[in-house]
Copies of this chain bind each other. A is one copy, B any other.
Amino acid sequence: MKFVKSAICIQCGEEHHALPGLTTCRQCGGLLDILYDYPAIAANLSKQDLAARQDNTMWRFREFLPVAEESVAAGLLSSGLKVGGSPLYPAKALGGQLGLSSLFIKDDGLNPTASLKDRASALAVIKAIEAGADTIACSSTGNAASSLAGNAAARGLKTFIFVPSRAPKGKVAQLMMFGAKVISVEGSYEDTFRLSAEAIDRWGWYNRNAAINPYMLEGKKTVALEIAEQLNWQAPDYVAISVGDGCTIAGVWKGFKDLYETGFIDKLPRLISVQAAGCCPINNAVDADSETLVPMEENTLADSIAVGVPRNFLKAVRAIKESKGITVNVSDQEILEAMALLGKTQGVFGEPAGVTGTAGLIKALAEKRIPADATVVSVVTGNGLKDIANAINAAGQPLLLPPDLERLAGEFKNLGWLS
């Protein structure tokens, strides 16, 4: 924690020591924000230092992360799953189709457990070890869960995981494979979250619930640090990202702000906050210029962002506003279309929630809310293999045939596949 100063409550401003087991403000229960000594980071780390590092995981940015010096010295950073270092693809074909001159796709579905959430979970297990815990728990719509289970398994920690019973089977199977004790809760994400909080309280496990645990956002911010470095320290004009609980978009914003504070970049991007039209309480609040959460039903097939009562609501709303960001709500149909378009034009396969940012970007461009000469990064937050049922919905069925060349030729003709 060489460069961490403290944790500040974003509601009442109360300052806290940045202990490993930190949750919410002891004064008012508000969310905490990790504060760094930015001049000290700038004095100790240069772009050249980073360029010389072989480590291409998220830990290459360790000066920007809240990890104890003892953890670094003990080799903890290099002994877990290899999280981060996901590709940033120049998306010429998709950009061309959308009339956007400079589009990049950050494929974070290529993390070890196939979602951006690995960035938070990798940090969670280190903070749990620093706190002396051997068991970690969280509630999640799926990805935080499987990432926690995988990252904890790789380090020999036990996990208790609470998922809503609607979570896709793929995600549940994945975390079961990682040896987690899984509790599937018959109820909403809100019910699931509450039960996990009660259980964590009762049995004293380390708490990986993002929003409650201020370190999770710090892990997620590494996606922004990577984007900036991959763009050779030119911040993009816009970053489009899907929004559910709000932790990820707030993390992206924190990452760019941290870089700005230390002089690694000289401007900040604007956020494109994309939610499913069937569950968009954060965008609604931004649109109403309000900091009051109005909960919503969870009506979208993009399960990872179906969060009716977002716990990181305030951080997300403030991040979007502070960045002079724009909000876009998309239909499930628009999400499936973005999924197919990303696959076909760029060879990137995202889950519905993973491509919602791209769906919003497409819509914002169609509505001319973004200039065609802007540099835009669209973050794909989860792998399409996590939710095959919806991929099948989006992709259709293959041509089923017996092994007969003449039948094949006939079908090709009918379908126009050879033209």
Contact = CB atoms under 8 A, between A and B. Distances in A.
A35 interface: no
B169 A392 contact: yes
A325 interface: no
A173 B399 contact: no
Contacts of A203: 418
Interface residues of A, number: 82
A178 B343 contact: yes
A179 B112 contact: no
Nearest to A177: B343
Interface in A97-114: 107, 110, 112-114
Contacts of A154: 89, 346-348
Contacts of A199: 405, 408
Interface in A304-345: 339-340, 343-345
A195 B178 CA distance: 40
Contact of A395 (B153, B177, B401): B177
Contacts of A397: 176
Contact of A173 (B56, B149, B391): B391
Nearest to A112: B110
Given A349-B150, A417-B181, A165 B400 contact: yes
Per assembly, the copies of the chain total 2
Contacts of A172: 398
A372 interface: no
A90 B75 CA distance: 13
Contacts of A174: 349, 384-385, 391
A177 B398 contact: no
Contacts of A385: 114, 170, 174, 383, 385-386
A242 interface: no
A304 B26 CA distance: 54
Interface stretch (A7-15, A183-191, A270-278): A183-191
Interface string A345-369: 1111100000000000000000000
A163 B181 CA distance: 37
Given A176-B395, A179-B343, A403-B194, A409 B153 contact: no
A226 B383 CA distance: 24
Contacts of A391: 170, 173-174, 176-177
A401 B403 CA distance: 48
A396 interface: yes
A148 to B, nearest CB: 10
Interface in A117-151: 149-151
Contacts of A87: 81-82, 112
Given A56-B56, A385-B383, A391-B177, A400 B184 contact: yes
Contacts of A392: 169, 173, 176
Contact of A177 (B173, B179, B187, B349): B349
A376 interface: no
A277 B156 CA distance: 32
Contacts of A170: 170, 385, 388, 391
A81 B177 contact: no
A56 B348 CA distance: 19
B82 A178 contact: no
A198 interface: yes
A182 B177 CA distance: 31
24 contacts: A56-B56, A81-B347, A82-B87, A113-B347, A149-B347, A150-B347, A152-B347, A153-B343, A165-B400, A170-B385, A170-B388, A173-B392, A174-B384, A176-B395, A177-B340, A178-B343, A179-B345, A183-B398, A184-B399, A186-B402, A186-B403, A192-B403, A194-B403, A195-B408
